[in-house]
Amino acid sequence: MPGYSPQEIEKKWQAHWKNNGTFKADNNSQKPKYYVLDMFPYPSGAGLHVGHPLGYIASDIVTRYKRLQGFNVLHPMGFDSFGLPAEQYAIQTGQHPEKTTRENIARYIEQLSALGFSYDWSREVRTSDPSYYKWTQWIFLKLFNSWYNLDTDRAEPLKTLLDKFAEGGSQGVRAAGDEEERHDFTAGQWQMWSEKQKLQAVHPYRLAYQSDTYVNWCAGLGTVLSNDEVKDGLSERGGFPVERRLMPQWNLRITAYADRLLQGLDHIDWPEAVKEMQRNWIGKSIGAEVTFQVQGHEQAQIKVYTTRVDTIYGATFLVLAPEHELVKELTTPEQQAEIQDYIDATKRRSERDRMADTKTVSGAFTGSYGINPFSNEPIQIWIADYVLAGYGTGAVMAVPSGDQRDYVFAKHFGLPIVQVVDQQQIEEQADPTKEGKYLHGLIQGQDYKQATQTLIQQLEERGIGKGKTNFRIRDAIFGRQRYWGEPIPIYYKDGVAYGVAEEDLPLVLPEIDEYKPTETGEPPLGRAKDWKYKGQYEYELSTMPGWAGSSWYFLRYMDPQNSERFVGQEAEQYWQNADLYLGGAEHATGHLLYSRFWHLFLKDLGLVTAAEPFQKLINQGMILGRSNFVYRINGTNTFVTAGKKDQHETTALHVDVNIVENDVLDIEAYKKWRDEYATADFILEDNGTYVCGVEVEKMSKSKYNVVSPDVLIDRYGADALRLYEMFLGPLEQFKPWNTNGMSGVAGFLKKLWRLYHPQDGDFAVTDEAATPAELKALHKAIRKVEEDIEKFSFNTTVSALMITVNELTALDSHKRAILEPLTILISPYAPHLAEELWVKLGHEAGSISSAQYPEFKEEYLVEDTVNYPVAINGKVRETQQFAAAATAAEIEAAVRESGFLARFAEGKEPKKFIVVPGRMVNVVV
């Protein structure tokens, strides 16, 4: 019989799992549930490289292990299939994004299946499938038709708000959101209003609402971009200029949930770094809102939020965001040109760039002055791009003595710096101290706590401010001017937004002739012909952002075929939430935050039962590429090796790592790969090889260091690839890829095979009784594998299994009592090989998934004998072996009988025998 052949075995078992639905999860099981969730991928045309499966392999190991532990495991997979890349390809080629996406998904499924993942493919979801996004639209309508009641601290259907309006008007209604966007009215006025007037009054209370919002507008792509999609003022895709623009946009009122999102972090098992990122993003602060009057502008008021109202006597200027609504009114004719130039420059910078740039000092004076409400001093009003219109009030009171950025700004522009506290040291930098006594006005002689209380009381008594808790988080912009996304189920009647009736969902994407914006600047959906609700009302032309469908997909996996409900009640109550979620840390303040927000909202409406969507989160690290370089001598067509490059002036060029083995270049393959170097000369090493340079960096196509799993599976097998990715190092760490290491893992699997097939011959497992040494090796592995998987320490498990196989090989072990449990231990890591061996051991095909994890027995690790160092007056002379159960008296007698005293005590009679059980013997003479 031939030796281990992974290619034959793996295809066989993948087909068996698929044809037999081996990994289908049951929504009605008496077993305890365990839900393992992967962050589902966006299916790009490039397919998977070896860095992508890292988290999937880890989650699959846990999945298979939990089945062996007796759990009913849900392990689904789907695709986040709306996205900008497919749309850009459609614009370039005219090919419908659906076709591109479908082909990319087919490629992903092929690659994922080849890795032997135990997914329940019957539950696959695709966010771009109308049967799926029907329910994304349905959830949006629930948000549109809900408000957040601060009295009950939860979202409620709009009906409860309308009942309040009908009974008492707006008086006493406490709702999350911007109070300034709302108007006061009585119950009588409400009753007299038209439908349009009522809807306009209600709109600012909705959890999904439309308002003028500053966005990242990219004319080159014809769409709004998220902050993540903008870098250095350019779109990440295409490199087009991006500017800040005020546009009507749909928003979701995530700010209503800010405090609950913070509190929930204390009850989930997530990496502390991720939780801290969310805390910082939400940014809770306790302070005060203060109103500054503007000199010469009676109606103009500037509201600022500050966490240090105690420093208000040191506020020597005001800074507005360049986009602030009062900038135009407050700019004097003399300052008009400078202010406009500054505003134009700001539009070209993303919010992220503005927040991150702490070194550049820039700003422009409006020419107007505010009045410090406590010192009554006039203070200049400036604009500066470090203040953002969407954060707080879009204005800050600048206290240069207590804030370093204000200090640098004041020094740069020659503005006053006023000491606030007697212990401040402000000669060289700002000093934010709260120690000491305050120097000015109402708070002179008071300490920090007294001063804060005094000033807030004064603000409220004088009607110029109030104490306030604020959050940095802003409402989530929900519209995108794109085609390839979920249509927002809104239509317009008499200029007012209405929700599409639920029975008319899904609102399916219409066919259009081109996928770019219209000639008049409307989003691509403006090209749809005769696309109107009920044949007469204009639809919303924006589509939802990419994160919409991914904010609830974990729920749909529980019951993906349900056409009556987004998830069946029984299925949701059984699975509740994901017990384990694996994915990248880059989603900390995007997907993970939005998902928690949507889940809390659905819970408020009684539609889900769990408090949080993801109980435990693990962020896998990144597998870095191992790049290779060739070195061209400048001005020539000649290449030198890495070892000789320092002898010349050279340029390093990336080379495709797939034509390099052990850093040795296949020169002929390189010449074929790069036509311009087909006739190049290569100066070789003394052994006639061209040795490339090496550098570890991010794996990407542009660096030619991408390694496809397909190639490695063809060469070594999927089980070897799975084991190797786990063997590289701790799951959470970044680690470099090196294909050369694959051969070692492949060799381990061959050695494992030979325990069952000695010398690669016939299957030769015997029913002989196991020896103590064999049982010891096995049970060490049982305990180690269990402990390590429970700790998600997969690399140490692989090491332990390798040691076990080496020990059993040395013992020439071929016994069923040892190898049958060993097969189960290896099955989460190398499932194809384990399935093959399991059948050879006489079990039903495919049944290893429902086998029982081997029981660890401590007794097999107990040693029969113990080696004792035996000493004279504390100095060890020799080692003697005694039974593990021997008593101190028995050990003493044995030492006396052994001739030890005659050899080392020089005839002296011992004064004392000290026996430390299991450790040592000391004879005192």
> Which amino acid does the sequence have at 10?
E
Q: Which residues pair with 51 in a beta bridge?
A: none
Instruction: Count the helix, strand and coil residues of the chain and give each as a percent rounded to the nearest 5.
Output: 40, 20, 40
Give the DSSP H or E segment for 366: strand 364-371
Q: DSSP string of 144-158? A: HTEEEETTTTEEEEH
Ranges of H-type helices in 147-238: 158-168, 187-192, 195-202
For 275-293, letters b (16+ CB in 10 Å) and e give bebbeebbbeeebbbbbbb
Measured CA to CA, the distance from residue 68 to residue 923 in angstroms comes to: 53
- d(CA 882, CA 438) in angstroms, rounded, equals 79
DSSP assignment of 507-565 = -PPPP-S-SS--TTS--GGGG-TT-EETTTEEEP--B--THHHHTSHHHHTTSTT-SSS
The rounded Cα 19 to chain-centroid distance in angstroms is 34
- Please state, in angstroms and as integers, the Cα–Cα distance from residue 619 to each residue in 227, 272, 588, 596, 709, following that order: 22, 11, 10, 17, 21
Residues contacting 586, CB < 8 A, separation 6+: none
Residues pairing with 651 in the sheet: 632
Q: How far apart are CA 456 and CA 442, in angstroms?
A: 12
| Three-class SS state of 916 | strand
| Pairing status of strand 33-38 against strand 72-74 | parallel
- For residue 476 the two structure tokens come to 């989530």
| Cβ atoms < 10 Å from Cβ of 536 | 8
- Strands 297-306 vs 284-294: parallel, antiparallel or unpaired: antiparallel
| 181-208 burial: b if 16+ Cβ within 10 Å, else e | ebeebeeeebeeeeeeebbebbbbbbbb
How would you list the strands of the sheet with 617-619, edge to edge? 72-74, 33-38, 580-583, 617-619
> CA 481 to CA 221: how far, in whole Å?
9
- Taking the C-alpha atoms of residue 344 and residue 478, their distance in angstroms, rounded to an integer, is 26
Q: Which single residue is written with the structure tokens 């019957």?
A: 122
Question: Which residues make beta-bridge pairs with 294?
Answer: 297, 370
User: Would you call 420 exposed, middle or buried from its count of C-beta atoms within 10 A (0-12, 13-18, 19+)?
Assistant: buried
| 411 assigned ligand-binding residue | no
* Phi, psi for residue 910 in degrees, rounded to 5: -65, 140
Place of tokens 């109030």: 466
Distance CA 443, CA 222 (A): 54
Per-residue DSSP letter, 266: G
Structure token digits, residue 613: 């969507």
Tell me, what DSSP letter sits at residue 607?
S
- Residues placed in the known binding site for ATP: 701
Detail the residues annotated as belonging to a binding site: 701
